[in-house]
Structure 1
Amino acid sequence: MNFPKRSNIQQTARQQLVIVGSRNPVKIKSTDHAFHKIFEHAFVVQGLEVNSGVSDQPLGDEETLKGAMNRAKNANMAFPEADYWVGIEGGVENNNGKMNAFAFIVVLDKNGKLGKAKTATFDLPDVIANLIMGGMELGAADDQHFNRENSKEGDGAVGMLTHGIVTRKEYYEQAIILALIPFANESMY
């Protein structure tokens, strides 16, 4: 697929508003960077706390995608004046005896167009997987194991386990860019 160069994507005179269905600063920054990498027009990206409608630690693709979709839709309902709404939901899944971590991204626009993507997945260490199976959310398990506070608003599991080589912002940003493909290639979607 030939991805259009930024200069070939239609521009708009006014700033467009993007609402992220979370106040997590990493999710907001990731969204801001992704939108500015794909489009040349100006964006204002704001976070809004909305309900995901799923458990605190979604399990499997279906529940995690539902959480991302609910976040985007609930952000739309709470702030319908925006141009785009983004839902980001992290999940875990048991796969061949290992627990994997990942996230789903959903982007909606004011015309009803939908884009979605999934991040790369990675195996969690057994010590963290055991804490999650015991009822903890991944962020809390990371905090306990790595002796941190509020790591889900910082480097998260991916950052800690890669020793900062893959930041949580970069991890989400790539998937947000992939979710924006339908918006950057409007004639094909």
Structure 2
Amino acid sequence: MIYPKRKNIKEETRHRLVIVGSKNPVKISCADKAFHAAFDTAFIVEGVNASSEIEDQPFGDEQTYLGANNRAKNAKKIFPEADFWVGIEGGIEEKEGEMSAFAWVVVLDRDDRMGKAKTAVFFLPAVISDLVRGGLELGAANDRFFQEENSKQGDGAVGLLTNGAINRKEYYKQAVILALIPFLNEPLYP
């Protein structure tokens, strides 16, 4: 197969607007960093309160993906003048008595194309898992155990459990970049 010549992404994406389906500063910042890293140009990145239309604590891969997809779609309804809309949703899943955490990212563009990616998965300690099983959201469970305040708008579980070696912003940024692959390689993703 002959690879088509790549377009000059920088020229085509000048002054584009990205709307993130959340007012969470971590999600807005990671999207900002991801778009600038992937496209090597300037973007304006803003957040809006877009509903995920799911429970506050998504459980399972399917529900978490649905939440990210709904956030992107609802952000597009709220601010249809943008060029890209991003939905990021963190979730948990339980298998064989162990609870893991992850997030889904969905990116939409004006042409109704979609990019999607999932973060790496990490396992939660039993003490946090027990708090979540008891009805707390993961962020609230982290706050209670680590004696933090609003950790989900900071480093989150991944930052707390890695002692800051991986913060939530970097954790999500990689997945946002991976969700941008179809937009970076349009001929391969018709």
Q: Is contact 2:13–2:39 with CA below 8 Å preserved after alignment?
A: no
Who is 1:44 aligned against? 44
Q: String of CA shifts for 1:124-163, please: whole Å, max 9, x gaps.
A: 0111101111111000000000001000000100000000
1:120 Cα deviation after fit = 0.3
What is the TM-score normalised by the length of structure 2? Answer: 0.94
Amino acid of the structure 1 residue aligned with 2:25: P
SS in 1 for 2:91: strand
Query: For residues 21 and 103 of structure 1, what CA distance do their matches in structure 2 show?
Result: 14
Runs of 4+ in 1 over 2 A off after TM superposition: 6-10
Who is 1:152 aligned against? 152
Amino acid of the structure 2 residue aligned with 1:129: S
1:13 Cα deviation after fit = 6.9
Amino acid of the structure 1 residue aligned with 2:170: E
Query: For residues 15 and 137 of structure 1, what CA distance do their matches in structure 2 show?
Result: 37
Deviates more, 1:128-137 or 1:6-15: 6-15
Q: What runs of 5+ residues in structure 2 fail to find an aligned partner? A: 1-5
1:42 Cα deviation after fit = 1.8
Query: For residues 13 and 165 of structure 1, what CA distance do their matches in structure 2 show?
Result: 32
SS in 2 for 1:107: strand
Q: Is contact 2:139–2:151 with CA below 8 Å preserved after alignment?
A: yes
Query: For residues 121 and 162 of structure 2, what CA distance do their matches in structure 1 show?
Result: 13
Amino acid of the structure 1 residue aligned with 2:55: S
Matches within 5 A, 1:16-55: 16-55=16-55
Query: For residues 14 and 148 of structure 1, what CA distance do their matches in structure 2 show?
Result: 40
1:50 Cα deviation after fit = 1.2
SS in 2 for 1:169: helix
Q: Is contact 1:51–1:71 with CA below 8 Å preserved after alignment?
A: yes
Matches within 5 A, 1:45-84: 45-84=45-84
Amino acid of the structure 2 residue aligned with 1:76: K
SS in 2 for 1:108: strand
Amino acid of the structure 2 residue aligned with 1:165: A
What is the TM-score normalised by the length of structure 1? Answer: 0.94
Sequence identity (%): 61
SS in 2 for 1:164: coil
Who is 2:178 aligned against? 178
Who is 2:126 aligned against? 126
Query: For residues 32 and 127 of structure 1, what CA distance do their matches in structure 2 show?
Result: 34
SS in 2 for 1:11: helix
1:40 Cα deviation after fit = 2.6
Q: Is contact 1:21–1:74 with CA below 8 Å preserved after alignment?
A: yes
Query: For residues 14 and 32 of structure 1, what CA distance do their matches in structure 2 show?
Result: 14
1:9 Cα deviation after fit = 2.6
Q: Is contact 1:100–1:122 with CA below 8 Å preserved after alignment?
A: yes
Amino acid of the structure 2 residue aligned with 1:155: D
